[in-house]
Amino acid sequence: MGTSAETFQLSLDAAEIYESKFVPALFGEWAPHLLDAAAVHAGQVVLDVACGTGVVARAAVERLAGNGAVVGVDLNEAMLTVARRLSRDVGWRQGDVCALPFPDASFDVVLCQAGLMFFPDPAQALREMARVARDDGTVAIQVWASLAEQPAYRPFIEVAARHAGPDAVSLLSAYWVLGDLEFVCSLLDSAGLDVTAATTRLGTARFESIAELVRIEVESTPLIDRIDADVYGKILADAGEALAEFRTSEGRAEIPIAGHLIAGRKRPPPRDIAPAVDSPALHPKGPPGP
């Protein structure tokens, strides 16, 4: 995963792999928790921002149980092609989170799972999410916690840095850049959202093996272009040892991954303040003299 909007113009094959591999391995588990954080319930109109192949939007459709509406928006057409194939119960739209293609106050709830860290301007993205939420509506996001809080990714990235140099840390770290919970809460507040819930949860990412996890992390990032076969082999071998405690008896990998779930309520615009009785505005020529 990269950090710029362009990086996300994926091929259809990549979007299919995302849905068949990464959604069950990682993202699917978080969708119900994000809906819980936003208290999504029947009767609401819900937007899933950076919906990808639509795992959150589909979970919202189930929760609304025929009473309400769900829209999913993503920059990437290939992701949306897969999303459209999987559900006709969601209104899928192509669009950039930094200029959402919806009028103000269109949604009761705006959700964004595992997206904010990839947007070029997260503060603007949150302002846009707040703009399209109605007054008192909810914006809820999920982001991964910081690398320091990751029980498995932290030792893995230490192994990569040992063999590939300190650059490896930033090359493998796009996921964790919004891991500071207080900072993300302050971004919501600046976007006009009162934070109502902020929790950190430990989920489980599931892979066929530790080696598969290493291959995904190395080969889907620019690190693959910086290392030769020898270094790659050392990273694979040492990661196998460093992550041994996360290998199941069948050789599969169950990797703990920490994420934050944050919900905010949109502050209504300030009401016009009636002038105080002795306000100079009532005495344009100045207050009466003694």
Ligand X SMILES: C[S@@+](CC[C@H](N)C(=O)[O-])C[C@H]1O[C@@H](n2cnc3c(N)ncnc32)[C@H](O)[C@@H]1O
Residue 250: Cβ within 10 Å count: 7
- Interface positions, 183-212, toward ligand X (CB under 6 A): none
**Strand ranges for the chain from DSSP E:** 45-49, 69-74, 91-94, 107-113, 133-144, 193-207, 253-266
The interface with ligand X within residues 247-286 (CB under 6 A) comprises: none
Q: Which two tokens stand for residue 213?
A: 């996890």
Beta bridge partners, 197, equal 263
Q: Judged by CB, which is closer to ligand X: 81, or 247?
A: 81
For ligand X, the closer CB: 31 or 210: 31
Give residue 119's identity as a one-letter amino acid code.
F
Residues 10-49, interacting with ligand X (CB under 6 A):
23, 27
Q: Please give the DSSP secondary-structure letter assigned to residue 254.
A: E
Q: Which two tokens mark 185?
A: 């809460």
* Among the residue ranges 51-59, 188-196, 225-233, 265-273, the one whose residues contact ligand X (CB under 6 A): 51-59
- Strands 253-266 and 133-144 come out as antiparallel
Residues 64-103, one symbol each (x = binds ligand X by CB under 6 A, - = not), give: ----------xxx--x----------------xxx-----
Our finding on whether 221 is near ligand X (CB under 6 A) is: no
In this chain, which stretch among 112-120, 211-219, 220-228, 265-273 interacts with ligand X, using CB under 6 A? 112-120
Task: Please name the amino acid found at residue 191.
Answer: A
Contact 207, 121 (CB under 8 A): no
Task: Work out how close the CB of 91 gets to ligand X at its nearest, in angstroms, rounded to a whole number.
Answer: 15
Number of Cβ within 10 Å of residue 61's Cβ equals: 21
Binding site for ligand X (CB under 6 A): 1, 5, 8, 23, 27, 50-52, 55-56, 74-76, 79, 96-98, 113-115, 118-119
